[in-house]
Amino acid sequence: MFRKRVLSSLALSLLSLQACAPTTILRTSDGAAPISPSANATAGSLHNDFGDSQRTRTPATRPSAASLGNGAGHAPDTSDPGPAPAMTPEQAARVAAGGFRYTDAENRDLAGPIKLPWRIFYKQPSSGPDAAWFDAVKHGDLATVRKMVAQGQNIEAKDNDALGQTALGWAAFIGYEDMVDYLVAQDASLQATDRSDVYNVLKSAVLGKNTRIVRKIHALLPDTDLNDQTLDSDGETLLMIAASNDRLETAEYLLSQGADPNLVTTIRSTGAAAYDQSALSYACTRGYGDMQKLLIAHGVINHRTGRSSCE
């Protein structure tokens, strides 16, 4: 009984301290208007506006934001999602005919004129000395990938005419889980980067939309701090990346693993598209209603207004 009374007293003291603590509301330094929901931004404004900058990465200058959230050291979900689903007959037929495993609509939802246009992989054949290799990877042709590896193909080759991505990076982004499983089993590097701002395969997977791959890669990188803002030159977290591309299931997973929805980008250039952005601001300005609801349900605060809403 005495222990219960002491714990109750401590809890009341903590609540009292929290109630008295000042609240800091971050606002734009250039007088920008508060966030308001709108339709998706136009293509002309998307040079670096979807959580994936089309430029060479530069070292971040701000310290880690790990202390601002609870993602540091949070144990990843190591439950096995199980083997990758087999291709459907329709997918197998498209690949056998020399096409892409996924439909045109599915590919456009990954990368298109508005969303991640510099990651479009389906309009032109690959080029360079490893063109056949990357064509097989991008088409989702696992049988050919296996055959080429058996013949000595370098799995760490870079697709130098397309961001310098590796096969594992492409497979993780496009969503070919069976190919990811195979390449990982062949010891493909999980630290594969590209000339944009991909710093490892986990980010490639988060840019894509296959959350099973995100879970598998996260389990292989158990020391990942989901709230580390030093890896990305804009200070974007993986949750911001998911929110900015409307990857709802991936955002749910990251939140379940300790991602802090209230972090704000650290880039200081007011002219950058990522300036003064958060997971919620991305979801609001792009009209991603379900993403907004998810973030609000997890206690997100609009850093520009101090309210748990887009307005």
CB 138 within 8 A of CB 126: yes
80 pLDDT band (50/70/90 cuts)?
A: confident
For residues 132, 209, 115 and 231, what is the CA-based torsion angle, rounded to 10 degrees? -90
Give the pLDDT of residue 41.
Answer: 36
Model confidence band, residue 81 (pLDDT cutoffs 50, 70, 90): confident
pLDDT of residue 72: 57
End-to-end CA distance of the chain: 47
* Spatial distance between the Cα atoms of 257 and 280, rounded to a whole number of angstroms: 18
Please tell me the distance from the alpha carbon of residue 65 to that of residue 235, in angstroms, as a whole number.
Answer: 9
pLDDT of residue 47: 37
Q: Using CA atoms, how far apart are residues 280 and 310, in angstroms rounded to an integer?
A: 7
| CATH number assigned to the domain with residue range 27-54+87-297, chosen from the 4 options 2.30.30.60, 1.20.210.10, 3.30.70.20, 1.25.40.20 | 1.25.40.20
- Per the CB < 8 A criterion, the answer to whether 100 and 139 are in contact is yes
Find the radius of gyration of the CA atoms of the chain: 21
| pLDDT tens digits for range 9-27 | 434 343 343 443 433 333 3
In the chain, domain spans: 27-54+87-297
Residue 28 has pLDDT above 80, yes or no: no
Average pLDDT over residues 294-308: 95
- For 274-300, write each residue's pLDDT tens digit: 999 999 999 999 999 999 999 999 999
pLDDT of residue 71: 59
Cα(188)–Cα(281) distance, integer angstroms: 35
What's the chain's average pLDDT? 82
Comparing CA positions, the residue from 202, 32, 41 lying closest to residue 116 is 41
